[in-house]
Structure 1
Amino acid sequence: MAMNIGIAKKDREAIAKHLSKLLADTYSLYLKTHSFHWNVTGLQFNSLHAMFETQYNELWLAADEVAERIRTLDVFAPGSYSQFGKLSAIKEESGVPDWKDMVGQLVEGHEIVAHTARETIKVADKAGDEGTADMVTGRLKEHEKTAWMLRSLLK
């Protein structure tokens, strides 16, 4: 049965392309945050360990929401590390930086995802896809707030 939700197939595919990048950024940031949760050390251990756990749980749920929106648009969502690696702008961390560098990398990551979200909203708005624009606006606000909270630790 053909999809008829009021958004042309080419527009759904363009939106899904941007959502796929958002998904890859979200998942990559999730993985980095989870790793930092496991490996943080120092005087800030307790507070950062708990904060990172809250953040990676939120990112995990967000990834599912973004992937399901891609499927709602009748496009398959990327779901492998190689696909995410090609799509994501989040830099991989293979070592274990100190807590300040962890926080700095997470600020940068949330800001990258905020940029990706803004671009996705533009494409969704142009196509009249209020559902995607609304969902991604919520994601944008969450990433901006998290970046602010993390950045505050470094002052």
Structure 2
Amino acid sequence: MAIDIGIAQQDREAIAESLSRLLADTYSLYLKTHSFHWNVTGPQFNSLHLMFEQQYNALWMAADEVAERIRTLDVVAPGSYTQFAKLTSIKEETGVPDWKNMVEQLVEGHEIAAATARKTVKVAEDAGDEGTADLVIGRLKDHEKTAWMLRSLLQ
């Protein structure tokens, strides 16, 4: 059955492409945050270990929401590391940095995801897709707030 939600196929595809970049950023940030949760050490261990756990759980749920929105638009959501690597702007970390560098990398990652979200809101609004805009504005606010909270640890 054809989809008829008031958004042209071309617009749905453009929105889904932008959402796919946000999904890739979200998943990459999830993976990095989870790795840092496992590997953090130092005097801030307990607080960072718990904070990172809360953050990767939130990112996991966010990735699901974004992927499901892509599917709502009748486009296939990316779901492989190869696809995510091509779509994300977040740098992969293969080592184990110290706690401070972990926090710095996560601040940067959340800021990148916020910028991606901001672009996605524009694409959605230009196409009259209030549903996507609403979802992504929430993601944007979460990334900005998390970046602020992490950045506060560095001052």
Give TM class, smaller chain.
Answer: over 0.9
Q: What residue ranges of structure 2 are gaps of 5+ in the alignment?
A: none
SS for the counterpart of 1:42 is coil
The within-5 A match list for 1:91-106 is 91-106=91-106
SS for the counterpart of 1:2 is coil
Amino acid at match of 1:13: E
Amino acid at match of 2:11: D
**Deviating 4+ runs (over 6 angstroms):** none
Whether 1:62 and 2:65 are equivalent positions in the alignment is no
TM-score normalized by the length of structure 1: 1.00
Match of 2:113 in 1: 113
Amino acid at match of 2:153: L
Match of 1:146 in 2: 146
| Aligned-partner Cα distance in 1 for 2:30–2:90 | 10
Amino acid at match of 1:60: W
| Aligned-partner Cα distance in 2 for 1:149–1:5 | 38
The within-5 A match list for 1:29-40 is 29-40=29-40
Q: CA deviation at 1:2?
A: 1.0
For each residue in 1:28-75, what CA deviation from the matched residue of structure 2 results, as whole angstroms up to 9, or x when unmatched?
A: 000000000000000000000000000000000000000000000000
Amino acid at match of 2:25: D
Amino acid at match of 2:96: V
Amino acid at match of 2:35: S
| Aligned-partner Cα distance in 2 for 1:9–1:2 | 10
TM-score normalized by the length of structure 2: 1.00
Match of 1:80 in 2: 80
| Aligned-partner Cα distance in 2 for 1:42–1:17 | 40
Amino acid at match of 1:42: G
Match of 1:131 in 2: 131
Amino acid at match of 1:127: A
